[in-house]
Amino acid sequence: MILAGIRTFSFVDYPKRISAVVYTGGCNFRCQWCHNWKIAYSNDYNSISEEKIIDKLSALRKRLNAVCVTGGEPTIHNDLPEFISKIKELGYLIKLDTNGTNPEMVEELISKKLIDYVAMDVKAKPENYCKLINVPKDYWNTIFKTINILRNSNIDYEFRMTYVPNLSTEEDIEFFEEFLKEDEKGYATIANSTEIFEVDKKENIKVNKLILRK
């Protein structure tokens, strides 16, 4: 594993739990607004060994019961399942943050019961994806596979999108709102903002107008 660091306490990364956050290095996207760009695609960070991370998590176990594995993009690392299984052995609940480009690995992690929650990005409508991720490759079919894996699993998950001023469009937000099923959790945010908007289809709360008036 290429690991870029650990945050020992977070109040916002695992729903309703205080968690540790483990950062993996590297990402297959080049989002221009990425707040973790240093570890995602700069190579300008100090890596930390797997042993050190596991030791820290082992020491934290008395005080915490949840870990968020984020990046970068964790699923670009072939040894992620082995790494996560070591964390699982410590007794933690595990949340995976992913951009959805490795459906096979997400499926494996779910089937082996190595993860308990997934937060997955849906960054734009399919036609705008390349623009948002800043990579000239059409990933939509792959991403849609991951979406279907989550939808057909019994794991808890959420979808999230980031509205990037001057890059995202109103149609991207509308696509996100339409794409969500009534019982699915969906959150939208604005790049470089900490404000989070929840899409609630049952209550007909759409985030489109809320975001665009900011």
Site residues for ligand SF4 per CB under 6 A: 27, 29-31, 34, 36, 40, 71-73, 99
Could you tell me the smallest distance in angstroms from the CB atom of residue 133 to ligand SF4?
A: 6
Which of 128, 193, 120 shows the shortest CA–CA distance to 161?
120
Q: Nearer to ligand SF4 by C-beta: 73 or 87?
A: 73
d(CA 149, CA 108): 10
> Regarding beta strands 17-24 and 3-14, do their DSSP bridges make them parallel or antiparallel, or are they unpaired?
antiparallel
Could you tell me the smallest distance in angstroms from the CB atom of residue 40 to ligand SF4?
A: 4
- Residue 23: strand pairing partners: 5, 70
Q: Nearer to ligand SF4 by C-beta: 60 or 118?
A: 118
Could you tell me the smallest distance in angstroms from the CB atom of residue 58 to ligand SF4?
A: 27
Tell me the three-class secondary structure of 66-80, residue by residue. Answer: EEEEECCCHHHCCCH
Which residue intervals of the chain are DSSP H helices?
37, 50-60, 80-89, 103-111, 129-133, 140-151, 170-179, 208-212
Could you tell me the smallest distance in angstroms from the CB atom of residue 140 to ligand SF4?
A: 14
Q: Nearer to ligand SF4 by C-beta: 21 or 60?
A: 21
Q: Nearer to ligand SF4 by C-beta: 72 or 103?
A: 72
Could you tell me the smallest distance in angstroms from the CB atom of residue 62 to ligand SF4?
A: 31
Q: Nearer to ligand SF4 by C-beta: 87 or 124?
A: 124
